[in-house]
Amino acid sequence: MIDTFLLVGLPYLALVACIVGTIQRFRREPYNVSALSSQFLEHRTLKWGSVPWHAGIIVILLAHIFVFLFPGVWRAITANAIALVAIETVGIALAFLCIAGMLVLIVRRLVSPKVQAVTTNVDLVVQALLLVQIVLGLSVALSYRWGAAWAPGTVVPYLWSIVTLQPDATFVAEMPGLVKAHIAGAWVIIGLIPYSRLIHMFTAPLHYVMRAPQVVVWGNLARLGKVAGDKLVASRRLFITGTVATASGVGLLGVGVLDKFVRYFQGPKLTEEQRADLLEERLVRVKATAEQRELELERLRSAYIAVGPLAQLDAKKGRYFIDYEMRPALAFKGDDGMPILISAKCTHLGCTVASEVNDQGQILCPCHVSYFDIKTGAPNPGPPQRRRSRTSTGY
């Protein structure tokens, strides 16, 4: 129950509060949208708080957003073990930077009387929340290793399920409490954005890089009338020409599309021979499906799958077969002469693994270069995080 609230109810509450609140504030209270800098009142400690905090949090936030938007690209990057270690190390270092910065900011706000003059309760709440959130994130990174690698497969689908209005908390419901706390904390902060100074995030002046240095505004109606008047005549002509041209273009296009529609629903006119070919093609497909179904039925009815003669099994080269779940599997001869049966489906993205066993007794998944021990099914450190299930029955 509490899980459902934290992982499904809270997110929607937060998102609605954030979106509605932000629109409200920008529309109705544009005068008070500001970063509310207190550098003017106190600048010495601010430097050691604001700069590290922002440097750290901006990179960390952008990385989070990137994983959310491009989980595939992120997976490809983190599949490389060196990149993964590098990313995690940088992330942890930045988290420490953020914590240091935020501690300075909090102390500054509590100690300096001038800064207190512009401090509200919400400011303190936000600061505390941010600090807790960073500490939570850092503990997740330290206690459940390689979060950069597992997040795209767990948290990202959860987030997308929220965003696409098909909430599915099962992706993260079984995760440790720390992770869930980090997720819930994020939702609380998102919900607070428009009601605190955090609103300044949405005013990041990136357009400054592109804009011309001088801004001149004419408020003169006469000028607007005069200068724009000439333009208006020209633009009226342009409007009429444009409308006519667009209308005829769209009309022509529409005729073409309609023609296709009509023909589609009429269906093609076929000759006897073509109809015969079509029927034959369908028959082949039906037969193939029937074969497949027979095979399935056999699997369900019989207790065993005939993999092959024991003598033909090899210790170094696996033999592919289809297991009960209609998935590829591999059979090897073990050291003790007994067969080893193991699923050939990679736990990472479901690729079929290769059949050759290397010197360490491992088989390779070629997709993202991960190795699995054929005896235990354990993966090496690499993208897949779950053990390969051993097919339990049948010899």
Partner 1 sequence: MNVRSHVAMVFHLDKCIGCHTCSIACKNVWTDRAGAEYMWWNNVETKPGTGYPTLWENQDTYKGGWKLAGGKGSRHLKLRCQDKLSALTKLFYNPNQPGLQDYYEPWTYTYSDLFDSPEGDDQPTARPISLITGEHIDIEAGPNWDDDLSGSPIYAENDPNLDKLTEAEREMMFEIERISMMYLPRICNHCANPSCVASCPSGALYKRGEDGIVLVNQEACRGWRACVTACPYKKIYYNWQTGKSEKCILCYPRLETGQAPACFHSCVGRIRYIGVLLYDADRVPDAMTVPNEGLVESQRSTILDPHDPEVVAAARANGISEEFIESAQQSPIYKYVIEWGLALPLHVEFRTMPMLFYVPPLLPVSGRSASGIYANDGDAFFTDLERARMPIEYLASLFSAGNVPIVEGTKSTSTASTMDRQSPRARLVSGSSRSHGGAHEHGRRNHFNRRWPACAEGRARPGTRGNGSLARLSDCSSSDGRNDLPATDRSTLAGGRRPAHAVSHVDAQRAARRARRTVHSYLRHLGRVRAVRRRPHLRRGELCARRTDGATSRFVRPARFRGRLRTA
Write out the residues near partner 1 by the rule CB under 8 A.
30-43, 46-47, 50-51, 53-55, 113-114, 116-118, 200, 203, 205-209, 211, 213-227
Q: How far apart are CA 104 and CA 175, in angstroms?
A: 33
Q: Smallest gap, in angstroms, from Cβ of residue 248 to partner 1?
A: 36
Q: Smallest gap, in angstroms, from Cβ of residue 220 to partner 1?
A: 4
Residue 362 parent element (H or E): strand 362-365
Pairing of strands 319-322, 328-333: antiparallel
Q: How far apart are CA 157 and CA 150, in angstroms?
A: 11
Tokens at 90, concatenated = 């940088």
Residue 333: φ, ψ to 5°: -95, 130
Residue 323 to residues 31, 317, 326, 348: CA-CA distances in angstroms? 67, 18, 5, 19
Q: How far apart are CA 110 and CA 311, in angstroms?
A: 78
Pick between residue 216 and residue 306 the one whose CB is nearest to partner 1: 216
Pick between residue 220 and residue 274 the one whose CB is nearest to partner 1: 220
Within 10 A of 183 (CB to CB), how many other CB atoms are there?
21
Residue 229 to residues 132, 217, 238, 239, 240: CA-CA distances in angstroms? 59, 18, 14, 15, 17
Pick between residue 4 and residue 220 the one whose CB is nearest to partner 1: 220
Q: Smallest gap, in angstroms, from Cβ of residue 110 to partner 1?
A: 14
Q: Smallest gap, in angstroms, from Cβ of residue 229 to partner 1?
A: 10
Pairing of strands 339-343, 319-322: unpaired
Q: Spell out the residues 6+ positions from residue 148 whose beta carbon is closer than 8 angstroms to its own.
A: 67, 74, 78, 84, 87, 88, 91
Q: Spell out the residues 6+ positions from residue 322 whose beta carbon is closer than 8 angstroms to its own.
A: 295, 299, 305, 328, 329
Q: Smallest gap, in angstroms, from Cβ of residue 196 to partner 1?
A: 13
Q: Smallest gap, in angstroms, from Cβ of residue 31 to partner 1?
A: 5
Q: Smallest gap, in angstroms, from Cβ of residue 23 to partner 1?
A: 15
Pick between residue 57 and residue 365 the one whose CB is nearest to partner 1: 57
Q: How far apart are CA 45 and CA 119, in angstroms?
A: 16
Pick between residue 206 and residue 303 the one whose CB is nearest to partner 1: 206
Q: Smallest gap, in angstroms, from Cβ of residue 123 to partner 1?
A: 12
Pick between residue 55 and residue 181 the one whose CB is nearest to partner 1: 55
Pick between residue 41 and residue 367 the one whose CB is nearest to partner 1: 41
Pick between residue 75 and residue 108 the one whose CB is nearest to partner 1: 108
